[in-house]
Chains A and B, each alone.
Chain A
Amino acid sequence: DAGITQSPRHKVTETGTPVTLRCHQTENHRYMYWYRQDPGHGLRLIHYSYGVKDTDKGEVSDGYSVSRSKTEDFLLTLESATSSQTSVYFCAISVGGVGANIQYFGAGTRLSVL
């Protein structure tokens, strides 16, 4: 157990509404990541954070924003949800040196945008 909690675990929302997903860690790791998982694509990086208030974009960042005001929390926001953002979202923390790190994942959030 890497001490990662994602909330909510499931969410159904309507197109155009804002949605925030939360990732909480208990072990003070510096690096945190948000991925989305879609059939045929594996997992793709949305955004990542390398410290409080330090974030950067991944390969599929359009339509998403993130915030990290505390080491333990990394929030992913869909400003105006679209059906293409229906997916399973995973948060991860990095343990060990960067690059050589092992990423451990939360249980995932299943989001449906109707």
Chain B
Amino acid sequence: AQKVTQAQTEISVVEKEDVTLDCVYETRDTTYYLFWYKQPPSGELVFLIRRNSFDEQNEISGRYSWNFQKSTSSFNFTITASQVVDSAVYFCALSLRSGNTGKLIFGQGTTLQVKP
């Protein structure tokens, strides 16, 4: 069975602190895709990143960076120098190549609060 676990339910930091959101996934498939989505207080879901299982290179986009480690089945997300606008619920998700459905399996989400 496939599963995504975000063990951190809520995180609170002060502005300018770095923060890492953890994501651990389970699958026996060898080809899969991992995603992060952001849900700000306004409620919409915003796509942040997609990684495939064959690409373990870390990725950096501005203050955001992602660390993908197949050995530990983790796909962690770090925000450097956090800002109040980063306050949101963040979801990690998994999609499998097999089955051709494209459906996403989501983690429970981590609520990040960045205080000024």
Residue numbers of A with Cβ under 8 A of B are 31, 33, 35, 40-45, 48, 50, 56, 58, 88, 90, 92, 94, 98-105, 107-108
Contact = CB atoms under 8 A, between A and B. Distances in A.
7 contacts: A35-B104, A40-B108, A41-B108, A43-B91, A94-B102, A100-B50, A100-B52
B91 A42 contact: yes
A104 B103 contact: no
Contact of B104 (A45, A56, A100): A45
A75 B104 CA distance: 19
Contacts of B31: 99
B45 A99 contact: no
Given A90-B45, A108-B44, A103 B102 contact: yes
Given A42-B108, A42-B109, A98 B102 contact: yes
Given A90-B45, A108-B43, A108-B44, A103 B52 contact: no
Interface of B: 4, 6, 31-33, 35, 37, 43-45, 47, 50, 52, 91, 93, 95-98, 100-104, 106-109
Contacts of B106: 35, 42-44
A90 B45 CA distance: 9
A35 B103 CA distance: 10
A50 B32 CA distance: 19
Contacts of B37: 105
B96 A99 contact: yes
Contacts of B98: 99
Contact of A103 (B97, B104, B107): B104
Nearest to B47: A102
Contacts of A94: 102
A43 B104 contact: yes
Contacts of B44: 105, 107-108
A9 to B, nearest CB: 10
Contact of B100 (A33, A41, A98): A98
Contacts of A48: 101-103
B37 to A, nearest CB: 8
A44 B108 CA distance: 10
A105 to B, nearest CB: 4
